[in-house]
Amino acid sequence: MSATPAGLNTLPYADGDFFAFEQLLTQKEQDRLAEIRDFLAREVKPIAVDCWNRGEFPMDLIPKLAEIDLISPVRRQGHSNLFAGLVHAELTRADASIATFLGVHDGLFTGSIEALASQEQKDAWLPDIYAMKKIGAFGLTEPLGGSDVAGGTRTTARRDGDSWILNGEKRWIGNATFSDWVVIYARDLDDNKVKGFLVDTSLPGYSATKIENKISLRTVQNADITLTNVVVPDFFKLAHANSFRDVNKVLKVTRLGVAWQAVGQQLAAFDVARSYAVERQQFGRPLASFQLVQSQLVSILGNAVSSMGMMVRLSQLEDAGQAKDEQSALAKAFTTERMRDSVAIGRNILGGNGIVTDYGMAKIFADAEAIYSYEGTHEINTLVTGRAVTGISAIV
């Protein structure tokens, strides 16, 4: 595809922030967001499609990500949840796979340690996690357990003196082929409650096998994990992870992150579709000069802006300590549904070029499917919200 015409990216709404939500950030946060955008444009976007095509993770990017210091922007760095959300959207806009890698290491893995470890455990583990000297993964879903894993966790933990013995399988575990640590959630055989453990991936009995043949987030190294009599010292049992209710403390926050990913994916679709529509000539005119194409672009923008507005308010509620599980559930369901619509429209604008990764949109279209599915399916999040507004559970 040809270079973007001069002046296109200097138009007032080139960034897709049609209602100027970013102005709600402090000046310091706006400057930091601009710095991160520059980093993504320089280090991530140029390699994203090639890594996706090959299904390989760019390991040499990790030290660069560590240097720009993205881990734990709220708890550690004191930024707002709104800033953290907009950063996650920008990461996704650049590459959904790298955003997912960080969502696993930062949101799910680091979030588990921050929320559920004792202070002594945090002091021992977090410095290397924040510096990305230790890369983490999050082991919850299983081969036979997804939406029902809360009451159906099959991986077991058995106390044996000063240690725990873990047995079972996990599936779809991002980063697990190369992570140093993984938080494993397992059912305690003594009290039947789900508990959390920090597992060193070099321990005997632990193995991780890459899941092949994916059509979405191909750069992310998802794995099947097998735990066979893995011995974990008692110090590595997360002190405050003693039921699935505790796990939900982590998932409520990370569900916010996935909804922000849906915003970022729509902005990515808008970027590619808008540029293509201006550059591509049909019938001797730019595609963008046709009314139906302008209507489609505005539909993508409307979906993105409405999703962003919902997420801005939810982030404000999270900053105030008032956000509820059902609000995160509605946000994830709504934004990902709008995302699916947006990427389909974007793919349509590119016509045949929309099905090859060379033009960017095919990758955006495919990656949206994973975002739509993880951190609670659309159906489950809809039913969580439905339970909140009716007082009646429709979940079996």
pLDDT tens sequence across 96-119: 999 999 999 999 999 999 999 999
- Residues 55-99 have pLDDT tens digits of 999 999 999 999 999 999 999 999 999 999 999 999 999 999 999
pLDDT band per the 50, 70, 90 thresholds, residue 5: very low
Say what the pLDDT of residue 3 is. Answer: 41
* CA 171 – CA 95 distance, rounded (Å): 23
Across 140-167, b (16+ Cβ under 10 Å) vs e yields bbbeebbeebbeebebbbeeeeebbbbb
With a pLDDT cut of 90, the percent of the chain lying above it is 89
Residues 6+ away with beta carbon under 8 Å from 304: 16, 263, 266, 267, 270, 338, 342
* CA 30 – CA 359 distance, rounded (Å): 30
pTM exceeds 0.85, yes or no: yes
pLDDT band per the 50, 70, 90 thresholds, residue 288: very high
* CA 186 – CA 155 distance, rounded (Å): 5
Say what the pLDDT of residue 13 is. Answer: 76
- Residues 220-240 have pLDDT tens digits of 999 999 999 999 999 999 999
DSSP 211: P
pLDDT band per the 50, 70, 90 thresholds, residue 249: confident
Q: What is the mean pLDDT of residues 174-188?
A: 97
Say what the pLDDT of residue 212 is. Answer: 96
Quick check: helix, strand or coil at residue 387? helix
Say what the pLDDT of residue 254 is. Answer: 85
Q: Please name the residue ranges forming H helices in the chain.
A: 27-39, 45-54, 62-68, 81-94, 96-102, 111-116, 119-130, 149-152, 244-279, 291-319, 325-349, 361-373, 378-390
Q: Mean pLDDT over all residues of the chain?
A: 94
Quick check: helix, strand or coil at residue 282? strand
pLDDT band per the 50, 70, 90 thresholds, residue 188: very high
H/E stretch holding 50: helix 45-54
Handedness of CA 337, 343, 344, 345 (dihedral sign): positive
DSSP 133: S
pLDDT band per the 50, 70, 90 thresholds, residue 1: very low
* CA 111 – CA 127 distance, rounded (Å): 14
The encoded tokens of residue 195 equal: 């508990």
* CA 23 – CA 43 distance, rounded (Å): 26
Burial class, 239, CB count within 10 angstroms (exposed 0-12 / middle 13-18 / buried 19+)? middle
Say what the pLDDT of residue 150 is. Answer: 67
* CA 361 – CA 340 distance, rounded (Å): 13
Extract the runs of DSSP E, i.e. beta strands, from the chain. Answer: 136-139, 156-160, 163-174, 181-188, 194-200, 206-210, 222-233, 281-282, 285-286
Say what the pLDDT of residue 2 is. Answer: 39
- Residues 131-159 have pLDDT tens digits of 999 999 999 999 987 777 767 799 999 99
| Domains contained in the chain, CATH given | 20-130 (1.10.540.10), 136-244 (2.40.110.10), 247-390 (1.20.140.10)
